[in-house]
Amino acid sequence: MPNPALTTAPQAIDPTFENVWDEIVWRGLVHVSTDQEALRALLAGDPITYYCGFDPTAPSLHLGNLVQLLLLRRLQLAGHKPLGLVGGSTGLIGDPRPTAERTLNARETVEEWVGRLRAQVERFLSFEGENAARMVNNLDWTAPMSAIDFLREIGKHYRVGTMLKKDAVAARLNSDAGISYTEFSYQILQGMDFLELYRQYDCVLQTGGSDQWGNLTSGTDLIHRVEGASAHAIGTPLITNSDGTKFGKSEGNAIWLDADMCSPYRMYQFWLSTADADVISRLKIFTFLTRAEIEEYEKLVEAEPFRRAAQKRLALEVVATVHGVEATAAVIAASEALFGQGDLNGLDAATLRTALEELPNATVPAGTSVVDALVATGLVASLSEARRAITQGGVALDGIRVEDDATVVEGTLAGGVSVLRRGKKTLAGVFIG
């Protein structure tokens, strides 16, 4: 098997599948859907227009959204025409959370986030060729509509009894928080989006997370009532870890796609720590590796789990898809150098600093002793423990074993930083300031 550090998988549909529908089912991307046979035939036929919406309820998309972005791309590679919708209007409302009412963000904030999310979505799609992607904003057709027009033209097609049965609404009705009319109306707005895209672009398929199923079918039902036409929806599974914990969370923080909110190094380490029980399903969903390649990694996980080959390939592929090959190569070099398999002096300052920020770290004055720096970073609990670790040969500074407890930290690596290591794998960053 070729060294995964040298190449990434080309973005392509796996030709061993008869139909892109068969491939996305194999990859585990279909948790719930409208008529499966009709969808299979639809995706095997002439190009269709389909969409997925992203609400600007934060300044960046996250790994949960990446499932949708990659599904959009897979269907485009099969010849279909994607619409990327950023919800300038629905972002002002927010879909109902199961537990409590959302805090409404200022219009100016939502407008800024629309721009940021739009730029992120655009990175995953192609805007050239016969099936070029198109970006849309639902504020364009929602803002000009009066409340009376909204109630007469859209609201009259909804039945409150049906709306009350939607999972998110039902959960909130049974909670102490209840639900406001604002969030209760969200499913109507999303249904109207699908209707508008059907009218403008002949869009006949919407994708989204399975937790959005009530909102997805709001659109298919509305199109059927108003236009007498059939439309479809695919709900992808919510990704959870095999131990039941929530996917995409790291110490309580989401893994964002924005490099300023989650460094490529941190994202790489997140994927590298994927459990053996989860890694094959992650390769199917988050990479463009072929079925044959993934089956090879499945054998490696079984035969040689200690090599972490599947995790390394997963981390490489996803970070390269999100942040580019160059940034990923720098992250891999940093990861290897920090753990004694590369040259720390060869790392660029920006990558090294972001990597050290993910480790225990401390800022100390130039000339601080290694003993004091060990305590400051938390690698040891006391000065005596620090001296003992040095005496036993278990401390390294910038990759070189420390022999003398009078050694000082000067920040000799790029960007004026240093790396302390205790034992083989316990690291800390030292910033000079």
CATH at 172: 3.40.50.620
> Do 230 and 351 fall into the same domain?
no
Res. 3 pLDDT band, cuts 50 70 90: very low
What does the mean pLDDT of the chain come to? Answer: 93
In a domain, 170, yes or no: yes
- Interval 107-166: pLDDT, tens: 999 999 999 999 999 999 999 999 999 999 999 999 999 999 999 999 999 999 888 888
**Could you tell me which residues come within 8 angstroms of residue 296 by beta carbon, excluding any fewer than 6 positions away?**
1
* HSE-CB of 342 using CA atoms within 13 angstroms: 16
In a domain, 92, yes or no: yes
> Do 190 and 46 fall into the same domain?
yes
**pLDDT: is 182 or 220 the higher one?**
220
In a domain, 280, yes or no: no
Exposed, middle or buried by CB within 10 Å (0-12, 13-18, 19+), for 356? buried
In a domain, 72, yes or no: yes
In a domain, 117, yes or no: yes
Please give the C-alpha separations between residue 322 and each of 88, 267, 285, in angstroms, as whole numbers.
Answer: 23, 10, 14
pLDDT at 167: 81
> Which residues form the domain of 363?
345-433
- Interval 269-283: pLDDT, tens: 999 999 999 999 999
pLDDT at 241: 83
In a domain, 266, yes or no: no
> Do 371 and 232 fall into the same domain?
no
**H-run or E-run covering 369:** strand 368-369
Q: Which residues of 318-336 are buried (b: 16+ CB within 10 A; e: fewer)?
A: bbbbbbeeebbbbbbbbbe
* Residues in a beta bridge with 52: 84
Distance from the Cα of residue 147 to its chain's centroid:
36
Q: Find the CATH number of the domain harbouring 385.
A: 3.10.290.10
Q: Which of 236, 268, 286 marks a domain boundary?
A: 236
Query: What percentage of residues in the chain have a pLDDT greater than 90?
Result: 83
Residue 253 confidence (pLDDT) above 80: no
Q: Tell me whether strands 361-364 and 426-432 are parallel, antiparallel or unpaired.
A: parallel
Residue 251 confidence (pLDDT) above 80: no
Task: Let me know: does 254 contact 61? Beta carbons within 8 Å.
Answer: no
As for how many domains the chain has, the answer is 2
In a domain, 340, yes or no: no
> Do 228 and 349 fall into the same domain?
no
Q: Which of 236, 255, 276 marks a domain boundary?
A: 236
Of 14-23, 162-171, 411-420, minimum mean pLDDT range: 162-171
Res. 100 pLDDT band, cuts 50 70 90: confident
Rounded to two decimals, what is the model's pTM? 0.91
pLDDT at 91: 94
Q: Which of 192, 212, 236 marks a domain boundary?
A: 236
CA–CA gap between residue 153 and residue 140 (Å, rounded): 17
In a domain, 34, yes or no: yes
CA–CA gap between residue 323 and residue 303 (Å, rounded): 31
Segment 391-402 mean pLDDT: 94
pLDDT at 98: 76
> Do 232 and 363 fall into the same domain?
no
> Do 350 and 226 fall into the same domain?
no
